[in-house]
Amino acid sequence: METGAFVSPAVRIATRQDLLEQVFAHCDHRDGDMLAKCARVSHAFFKPAVKVLWGDLPNYTPIVYVLWKSYKKERGKVTWISPIEDEQWARLELYGALVKHIEELREDHDGELGGAGFVALALRAKGRPIFGHLKRVSNVELRHMRTYEPLLFLSAPLREVAFSLPVRNEDDYPCKDCRDLGMVHKFDYTMGPLLQVLHMQSPHLTTLSVNFHALFPEVKSEDVQRISLFRHLRHLHVQLDGMSLSSLLMTCAKLRKLTSLSLRMSDIFEFPEAKKPKKSKLRTLTDFKLRGHPAYAVAVLEHALESALESVVVFGPADEEDFYECLDSITKHFSSSLTTLGVTLYGGRRTMRFADIGDRLHLLPKLQYCFLEFVEDLRYSNPKKIRMSLTDDDIAKAALAWPRLRKFILSCAQDDQDVAPLAESVQAFAAHCPELQTLVLPSMDASRLPAGVDAKVERCELPGLTTSDREYYDVIGSFPRSKTIHP
């Protein structure tokens, strides 16, 4: 290059450090010993290797390694014996500034940080964050809720966090509403105080997930409303019962940036008339997921009429009446925006008619990704599929109704009384769906497919629906990374 030649600042030249960091980033992160050895090889290797090694932590273990002078370990149990020295703390500050993601934080982590360890760290930190650039924590598991110890590691830059909480209840008692309904319930007293402390630590969260060790606790209205403290929330997942749904929807209506809502609810519909929520308007949702009874989906969709929903996933029991009501609500209010639909119904026994489903879904002209699964029992790894009556006319109508279709998967069993779809009807997808990539129908011969169309697909291949095959629905509270949320 000539002397004095101008180089645009937009041109980024890769340095040796950049290249080394890229090399170390491809190493197996589970092999921390290997990266640690690389960091000790030379000064040139130290910074890029340590940056990768500490950027993504599995748990507290690396902290314990750094503070080895302050504890002793006997029979797998850690005992803290002295305050943290300046030299150890300086090393922890150096490495802690590199941490961007922690997989799991737990109370009383066996063999690692216990109550004394948290106290030692808190005293030495003097209110300053230990991980000043931490962006994401995949799971914070709290068991006793004594002092919210793991929250010590959270700081203002945190953007994504998921909690797994215990349920603390008082003795059984009937409140007035439950006496009127002839019911007895318990309130959870965990969620509210946690959210208040969390907001003090990390007020700028964009993704929050709250699950409970016990299924479907009823959370007090004032505790649910504390979710509204997080004004920047875009993605929210909550596990709760039907009695708390009203408060949650009212709270979500206050979150002006909320685009993704995920709910884990009961397979039994417990949403009495007396507790039906007032119509809180959800205006900003684009993505909605539900694991629970389809009737809950109907309730949420009725409050999201002013949203431009692009993706809906419903995973629940095969209650056909409420399922069809859910489809009616989707097609009536979101036909101009919906591009992704995922449905898994389980527990049904009798044969269903695809025409009853298709006649509703034909009103979704922008549909691109569609996954429909019907199984009898989810307790088995390879569950028996519900029988579906599917005709050539049903297939032809679907192809004609969805000109933008890219992937369509119908996972069910072919009704014994029906003839398998003919090649001519399958070819309708080639004629009317030019962007089609994947097509799966029951009892379909792959030789009948149009050229370039794949007949084999796993649920994980559907953008926006899953992060893994069936496991997605078991951990629906764990939001996938942004690159997998939408097509």
Q: Identify the weakest region by mean pLDDT among 129-138, 363-372, 459-468.
A: 459-468
In terms of Cβ atoms closer than 10 Å to its own Cβ (0-12, 13-18, 19+), residue 424 is exposed
Cα separation, 421 vs 444, whole angstroms: 7
Return d(Cα 29, Cα 33) in angstroms, integer.
Answer: 9
Distance CA 270, CA 346 (A): 19
Q: Domain ranges in the chain?
A: 14-54
Amino acid (1-letter code) at residue 44: A
pLDDT of residue 146: 56
Least reliable range by pLDDT among 20-29, 35-44, 51-60, 347-356? 20-29
> What is the predicted pLDDT for the residue at 209?
94
Which pLDDT score, from 0 to 100, does residue 327 have? 95
pTM tops 0.85, yes or no: no
pLDDT in tens, 461-475: 443 333 333 333 333
| Contact call for residues 431 and 463 (beta carbons, < 8 A) | no
What pLDDT score does 475 carry? Answer: 30
Least-confidence region, from 319-333, 356-370, 455-469: 455-469
**Chain-wide mean pLDDT for the chain?**
77
Percent of the chain scoring above 90 in pLDDT: 31
Q: Please, are residues 338 and 368 in contact by the beta-carbon 8 Å criterion? A: no
Question: What 3-state DSSP class applies to 118?
Answer: helix
Residue 274, pLDDT > 80, answer no
Chain mean position to CA 335: 25
Q: Does residue 3 register a pLDDT over 80?
A: no
Residues contacting 28, CB < 8 A, separation 6+? 34
pLDDT category, 76, cuts 50, 70, 90?
Answer: low
